Amino acid sequence: MILRQIQDHAGGKTEETKTEARKVVARVAGLPLGIQAAIGLINESHLTLKQYNQKYTDGRTFLRAVERDHTSRPFDPYPQGLRETLNDTIKSLGGSTRRLLEIFSLLDPDHIQDRLWEAATENDTLRTFDYVKNATDYLPSLYNSGIVRNVDEVGQRLTSVRMHRLLQDCVRLFSSDDSFQQTFEHAVIMVDTAMGSTYFKTAHQTAPQQLREYLPHVQMLHDFYHAQLTEGRTHKIIPTMHFIRLLRKSAT
């Protein structure tokens, strides 16, 4: 799809350009609308595939640059641009469902375990929030919004869902700054509670393996905290004691 539509100077059908094209596809997690938007951006920029991949190194950089016209194709035009489609998906969600999506956006998108929501109902701070008490009522709305059930659970003990990475990047990029302090704190408490309750309710020899299932979430929270310090957010996230405790628990 990419090699067929990009300009000749951007690269021929060599193994090197095929490798670069695969990087473009990986960055948008295989989303056809994302691939088409990338093609439009490549052609407008007059960059080679290699130069493009050096400039747009992650989903958020890409989403900031892409415009509605980049998905336009004379032979089969898309009715809407990539960023507009993702934003409309986010805006269509109600308050509690939107909060669930924001929590998802701070976690490892490949395996978001159901156990996280069960643990949240056991936490005194979180259990009173509507999106926790009635999570099972709101989760189905997300299954039509870039969230799907994991059906291939090879090596995974817990049932989980996954989130499309471009949707994750879009939520992070365009959600209001002032809402993310609480969202971040709730995500931290949720992961911390899941790790803690798993540890104390299982035999000591099996607990470390089960704790490791949540470590990708800790890494994502850690990376998000550091990234937002340099992204020009108006309201910087303050590292709370819950966050520090989670990092210390994960380090051990």
- pLDDT tens-digit profile of 42-76? 989 888 999 999 999 988 889 989 888 878 766 66
C-alpha distances out from residue 252 to 22, 209, 219, 220, Å = 37, 13, 14, 18
The pTM for the full model equals: 0.84
174 and 243 together in one domain: yes
Judge whether 145 and 167 are in contact, CB under 8 Å. yes
Query: To the nearest whole percent, how much of the chain has pLDDT over 70?
Result: 86
104 and 71 together in one domain: no
114 and 199 together in one domain: yes
Residue 104 has pLDDT above 90, yes or no: yes
126 and 191 together in one domain: yes
Judge whether 83 and 98 are in contact, CB under 8 Å. no
| pLDDT at position 154 | 61
**Residues whose CB is less than 8 angstroms from the CB of residue 180 and which lie 6 or more positions away in sequence, other chains included:** 102, 228, 233, 235, 237
126 and 233 together in one domain: yes
97 and 129 together in one domain: yes
Please indicate, yes or no, if residue 182 is contained in any of the structural domains.
yes
DSSP output for 195-206: HHHHHHTS-TTT
Per-residue pLDDT of 166-184, as tens digits, reads: 999 999 887 766 678 899 9
195 and 222 together in one domain: yes
- Number of domains observed in the structure of the chain: 2
Q: How many helices (H) and strands (E) does the chain have?
A: 15, 3
Q: What are the φ/ψ torsions at residue 117 (nearest 5 degrees)? A: -75, -35
Please indicate, yes or no, if residue 87 is contained in any of the structural domains.
no
Show the tokens assigned to 176.
Answer: 């209001």
What rounded mean pLDDT belongs to the chain?
85
Per-residue pLDDT of 113-159, as tens digits, reads: 999 999 999 999 999 999 999 988 998 888 877 898 887 666 566 78
Provide the residue range defining the domain that includes 166.
92-251
Q: Burial, 52: exposed, middle or buried (Cβ in 10 Å; 0-12, 13-18, 19+)?
A: buried
Nearest CA among 195, 210, 206, 184 for reference residue 250:
195
Paired strand residues for 147? 163
Mean pLDDT of 4-22: 83
| pLDDT at position 232 | 67
Show the tokens assigned to 91.
Answer: 């805006």
Residue 6 has pLDDT above 90, yes or no: no
For the beta carbon of residue 142, count every other beta carbon within 10 angstroms. 20
Q: Which of 82, 106, 134 delimits the end of a domain?
A: 82
Q: Which of 82, 100, 126 delimits the end of a domain?
A: 82
Please indicate, yes or no, if residue 27 is contained in any of the structural domains.
yes
Describe the crossing of helices 32-45 and 82-91 by its angle, rounded to 10 degrees.
140
Mean pLDDT of 74-87: 79
117 and 187 together in one domain: yes
| pLDDT at position 204 | 47
Please indicate, yes or no, if residue 166 is contained in any of the structural domains.
yes
Per-residue pLDDT of 20-47, as tens digits, reads: 999 999 999 899 889 999 999 998 988 8
Please indicate, yes or no, if residue 131 is contained in any of the structural domains.
yes
**Residues whose CB is less than 8 angstroms from the CB of residue 184 and which lie 6 or more positions away in sequence, other chains included:** 106, 221, 224, 225, 237, 243
Residue 200 has pLDDT above 70, yes or no: no
98 and 170 together in one domain: yes
| pLDDT band of 191, cuts 50, 70, 90 | very high
**Residues whose CB is less than 8 angstroms from the CB of residue 86 and which lie 6 or more positions away in sequence, other chains included:** 63, 146, 166, 167, 170
Residue 77 has pLDDT above 80, yes or no: no
Dist CA 60 CA 205 (whole Å): 41
40 and 137 together in one domain: no
**Residues whose CB is less than 8 angstroms from the CB of residue 7 and which lie 6 or more positions away in sequence, other chains included:** 42, 43, 46
43 and 165 together in one domain: no
114 and 193 together in one domain: yes
Q: Which of 82, 111, 136 delimits the end of a domain?
A: 82
